[in-house]
């Protein structure tokens, strides 16, 4: 149950961690370690499956009153939670950095700042986004009918996030779920349990009514217990393999799921692009969070004429990056999250080597640092037939391949089971848009990279094996409500022509509906009026 993170360069640390793991097994706790140093960050009691069920029950009870609150009341709590975050911004960033290994500055820029923006946006706009909407019903309106859609919350939303953005992803989803009138139970990753508890504390300090946001701590079994407790929805972020397990388990209760899964995101650089900017974007897109972002640049395709210059710029910039523990403000690339993750990176780099690609820089664990550090690695001569160009690496590698034509670039980018994000770099905006629309991915940037998860106003989610459903934006909010159609007949003086009893006159009228009314044209429909009146008269007798 406990995380055993091995530190290859330090036997004493490993022995100490093994001892801690044994002790924690007895006390039924998760021990959170700093992957950069191996130091214990803290411990969290594991929530048993029975306690998870109880938490969901409590959340169901809390929902009965929370759903009655107004949007304005909910917004007050969300804005208070925002203030709580702002008042301890450095403390939170240090905690995220300690548990995940990412640089302290990146915890602010890529987690705290975007989620603060998301909180203010949904606090201020959910009412407008969920405003009951009139639906045009064509000729039925002429019969005195009208239709309106109202949106109801689902009940309890279960959130199961990954460890890579342990603060912003669950907190943002929780805030959206609350604004839509739901209550929430979050099962944080076992690698980042204290960041999960921090989210609960923030809402508590914001004065949110009891049990509207609860945390269930633990590993996969705790997540499985949350799914089995049949919440109204599961918002899952993680691997394809776990996503499939969750979808299967959720199907037992017909619980609907949003799945935010892996990526193998391509960056396409045309020869007419600003190569200096593209190189900087590639370096940030591939190496921020040590490459452990679902929308990391995992494959770069550069047009043949620009390959040499772009590659040189990328290598130069990569060699300048400072890799160190996350708490230093000068660190650009921090530690990786776990030994398991670093092992995947090693396997993929070896696959590139064996397949004939060239490691231009990096390609190894950092020999001067004790923790889980893998050097930012630039690889050339990569091609799509290499295994590591198909499987998600989720680490600091940037493989570069070349292409000749626009069609080649699109074909290479789409040659993947994944389709989360992509980017296209060109000075020709028409070409950028044209190519973007042909890429099979949920978000495609032109002359930008990776960061659109940070724009809470826009939908986030994948094509193909990168997921199902959306988070963020109006589309994400729609995942957290159930639409109800209210249909009103304002006239209600006469029976409907399609009611019983049926007769030859009825069947003749139905033919008229099929031929004329179903054209949607008033003029055509006018042709069946005599028949319609005959039928009404028949019913009215």
Q: Which of the stretches 157-165, 176-184, 297-305, 513-521 binds ligand NDP when contact is defined by CB under 6 A? A: 157-165
Contact region for ligand NDP (CB under 6 A) — 141-149, 150-158, 259-267, 402-410?
259-267
Minimum CB distance to ligand NDP, residue 480 (Å): 16
Q: Residue 451 CA to chain centroid, in angstroms?
A: 12
Beta carbon of residue 329, minimum distance to ligand NDP (angstroms, whole number): 25
3-class state of residue 334 by DSSP: coil
Q: Please, what sign has the CA dihedral across residues 122, 293, 361, 191?
A: positive
In the residue annotation, 294 being an active-site residue is answered as yes
Residue pair 269/306 in contact (Cβ under 8 Å)? The answer is yes
What binding mask, one character per residue, do residues 204-233 give for ligand NDP by CB under 6 A, x or -? ---------------xx--xx--x------
Q: Which of 260, 298, 375, 391 binds ligand NDP (CB under 6 A)?
A: 260
Q: Per rule CB under 6 A, is residue 459 in the interface with ligand NDP?
A: no
Q: Does 164 bind ligand NDP (CB under 6 A)?
A: yes
- The first and second tokens of residue 204, run together, are 């508590």
Contact between 163 and ligand NDP by CB under 6 A: the answer reads yes
Cα within 13 Å of Cα(20), Cβ side: 22
The smaller minimum CB distance to ligand NDP, of residues 344 and 478, is found at 344
Q: 29, 111, 173, 260: which is the annotated catalytic residue?
A: 260
Cβ of residue 218: shortest distance to ligand NDP, in angstroms? 7
Looking at residues 462 to 521 of the shown chain, list those that interact with ligand NDP (rule: CB under 6 A).
Answer: 462, 467
Distance CA 498, CA 505 (A): 11
**Please, which residue, 238 or 399, has the CB nearer to ligand NDP?**
238
Known catalytic membership, residue 304: no
**439 phi and psi angles, rounded to 5 deg:** -85, 135
For residues 68-127, which are near ligand NDP according to CB under 6 A? none
Helix (H, G, I), strand (E, B) or coil at 487: strand
State which of residues 37, 126, 237, 289 lies at the interface with ligand NDP (CB under 6 A).
Answer: 237
With vertex at residue 405, the alpha carbon angle to CA 400 and CA 409, rounded to the nearest 5 degrees, is 45
User: Which one, 237 or 402, has the nearer CB to ligand NDP?
Assistant: 237
Q: Tell me how crowded residue 530 is: count the other CB atoms within 10 A of its CB.
A: 10
Taking CB positions, which residue lies at the least distance from ligand NDP? Answer: 223
For 472, other C-beta atoms within 10 Å of its C-beta total 25
Binding footprint of ligand NDP, residue count (CB under 6 A): 31
**Range list of H helices, 208-366:** 220-228, 240-251, 275-287, 307-319, 339-354
> Does 166 help bind ligand NDP (rule: CB under 6 A)?
no
Give the residue with the Cβ less far from ligand NDP, 181 or 263: 263
- As given in the structure block, the two tokens for residue 166 are 């342990």
420 binds ligand NDP (CB under 6 A): yes
In contact, 74 and 182? CB cutoff 8 Å: no
Contacting residues for 294 by C-beta, under 8 A, at least 6 apart = 162, 164, 237, 260, 261, 262, 263, 420, 466
Q: Is 189 in the site for ligand NDP (CB under 6 A)?
A: yes
End-to-end CA distance of the chain: 76
For residue 480, give every residue at least 6 positions away whose Cβ sits within 8 Å of its Cβ, in sequence order, or none: 153, 154, 157, 176, 177, 180, 182, 233
Q: Report yes or no: 219 and 196 within 8 Å, Cβ to Cβ.
A: no
Q: What is the CA radius of gyration of the chain?
A: 27
Cβ contacts of 27 within 8 Å, gap of 6 or more: 43, 45
Tell me which stretch binds ligand NDP (CB under 6 A): 64-72, 197-205, 235-243, 342-350: 235-243
User: Is the Cβ of residue 62 or residue 261 nearer to ligand NDP in the bound state?
Assistant: 261
Q: Which tokens hold the place of 161?
A: 């996030």
User: Can you tell me which residue has the tokens 């839509």?
Assistant: 180
Query: Which residue in 238, 334, 419, 432 binds ligand NDP (CB under 6 A)?
Result: 238
Closest CB 287 distance from ligand NDP, rounded Å:
16
Of 76-84, 240-248, 320-328, 526-534, the segment contacting ligand NDP by CB under 6 A is: 240-248
Q: Of the listed 212, 288, 294, 445, which one is catalytic?
A: 294
Asked whether position 7 contacts ligand NDP by CB under 6 A, the answer is: no
Q: Which residues bind to ligand NDP, rule: CB under 6 A?
A: 160-165, 187, 189-191, 219-220, 223-224, 227, 237-239, 242, 245-246, 260-263, 294, 392, 394, 420, 462, 467
Q: Which residues are catalytic?
A: 260, 294
């Amino acid at each position: 149950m406990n995380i055993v993170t091995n530190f290859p360069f330090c036997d004493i640390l490993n022995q100490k961690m093994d001892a801690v793991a044994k002790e924690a097994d007895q006390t039924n706790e998760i021990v959170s370690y700093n992957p950069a140093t191996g130091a214990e960050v803290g411990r969290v009691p594991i929530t048993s499956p029975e306690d998870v069920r109880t938490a969901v029950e409590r959340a169901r009870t809390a929902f009965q009153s929370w759903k009655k609150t107004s949007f304005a009341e909910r917004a007050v709590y969300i804005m208070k939670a925002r203030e709580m975050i702002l008042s301890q911004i450095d403390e939170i960033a240090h905690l995220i950095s300690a548990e995940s290994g990412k640089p302290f500055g990146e915890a602010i820029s890529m987690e705290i700042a975007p989620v603060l923006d998301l909180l203010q946006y949904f606090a201020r706009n959910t009412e407008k986004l969920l405003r009951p909407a009139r639906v045009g019903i064509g000729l039925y309106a002429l019969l005195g009918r009208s239709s309106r859609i109202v949106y109801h919350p689902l009940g309890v939303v279960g959130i199961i996030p990954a460890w890579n953005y342990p603060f912003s992803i669950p907190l943002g989803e929780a805030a959206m779920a609350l604004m839509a009138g739901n209550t929430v139970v979050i099962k944080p990753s076992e690698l980042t349990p204290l960041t999960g508890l921090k989210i609960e504390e923030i809402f508590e300090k914001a004065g949110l009514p009891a049990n509207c946001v609860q945390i269930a701590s633990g590993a996969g079994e705790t997540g499985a217990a949350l799914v089995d407790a049949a919440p109204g929805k599961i918002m899952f972020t993680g691997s394809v393999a776990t996503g499939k397990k969750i979808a299967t388990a959720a199907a037992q209760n017909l619980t609907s799921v949003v799945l935010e899964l892996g990526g193998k995101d391509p960056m396409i650089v045309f020869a007419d692009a600003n190569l200096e900017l593209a190189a900087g974007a590639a370096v940030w897109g591939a190496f921020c969070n040590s490459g452990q972002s679902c929308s990391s640049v995992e494959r770069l395709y550069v047009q043949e004429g620009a390959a040499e210059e772009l590659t040189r710029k990328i290598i130069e910039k990569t060699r300048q990056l400072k890799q160190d523990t996350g708490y230093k403000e000068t660190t650009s690339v921090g530690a990786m999250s776990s030994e398991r993750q670093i092992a995947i990176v090693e396997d993929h780099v070896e696959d590139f080597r064996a397949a004939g690609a060239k490691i231009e820089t990096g390609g190894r664990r950092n020999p001067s640092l004790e923790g889980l550090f893998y050097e930012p690695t630039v690889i050339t001569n990569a091609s799509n037939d290499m295994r590591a160009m198909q499987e998600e690496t989720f680490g600091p590698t940037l493989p570069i391949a070349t292409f000749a034509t626009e069609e080649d670039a699109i074909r290479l980018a789409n040659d993947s089971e994944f389709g989360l994000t992509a980017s296209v770099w060109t000075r020709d905006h028409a070409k950028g848009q044209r190519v973007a629309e042909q890429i099979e991915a949920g978000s495609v940037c032109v002359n930008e990279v990776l960061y659109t998860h940070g724009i809470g106003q826009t939908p986030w989610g994948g094509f193909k094996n990168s997921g199902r459903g959306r988070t963020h934006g109006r589309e994400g909010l729609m995942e957290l409500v159930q639409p109800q159609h209210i249909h009103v007949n304002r006239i209600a003086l006469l029976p409907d022509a399609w009611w019983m009893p049926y007769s030859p006159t009825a069947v003749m009228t139905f033919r008229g509906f099929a031929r004329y009314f179903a054209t949607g044209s008033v003029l055509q429909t006018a042709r069946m009026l005599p028949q319609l009146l005959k039928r009404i008269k028949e019913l009215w007798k």
